[in-house]
């Protein structure tokens, strides 16, 4: 089985939103969490659209500045965007690179800071 199938499955199972974009800011992929979270903005219909169209001019400028920073060095791979107090999560933009280190796109990563409330290995009722 192709390794890409495994990578897609990892992204599909992530509870946090994942939106992958190319260097033209075109949305190439949204995982199911992102499709649900951005349903009011179009959900799955956003795929193929410009990420910039979903943001105000200030945010558009920050996105472009971030991509330019990623292009400056292969060591520039992750930048903190903001902390979302209501959901207790940090948001980052992360560079996507090919096997040579060349920048090919980016994605937004959400890291939730709330402790897990489930019991360890709680398989539910069987």
Question: Each residue of 58-114: pLDDT tens digit?
Answer: 999 999 999 999 999 999 999 999 999 998 999 999 999 999 999 999 999 999 988
Distance CA 107, CA 117 (A): 28
CA atoms within 13 A on the CB side of 97: 17
Q: Is 29 contained in some domain? A: yes
Query: What CATH number is attached to the domain comprising 59?
Result: 3.30.450.20
pLDDT at residue 126, rounded to an integer: 54
Query: Per the structure, how many domains does the chain have?
Result: 1
**Could you list the residue range(s) of the whole structural domain that residue 24 is in?**
16-112
Q: Is 32 contained in some domain? A: yes
Q: Is 7 contained in some domain? A: no
pLDDT at residue 85, rounded to an integer: 93
CA atoms within 13 A on the CB side of 34: 21
């Amino acid at each position: 089985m192709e390794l890409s199938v495994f990578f897609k499955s990892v992204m599909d199972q992530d509870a946090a939103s994942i939106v992958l974009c190319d260097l033209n800011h075109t949305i190439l992929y949204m995982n199911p969490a992102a499709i649900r979270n951005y349903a009011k903005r179009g959900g799955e219909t956003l795929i193929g659209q410009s990420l910039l169209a979903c943001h105000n001019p200030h945010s558009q400028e920050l996105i472009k500045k971030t991509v330019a920073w990623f292009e400056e060095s292969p060591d520039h791979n992750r930048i903190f965007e903001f902390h979302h107090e209501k959901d207790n999560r940090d948001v980052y933009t992360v560079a996507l690179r090919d096997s040579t280190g060349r920048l090919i796109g980016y994605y937004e990563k959400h890291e939730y800071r709330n402790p897990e409330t489930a019991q360890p290995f709680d398989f539910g009722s069987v």
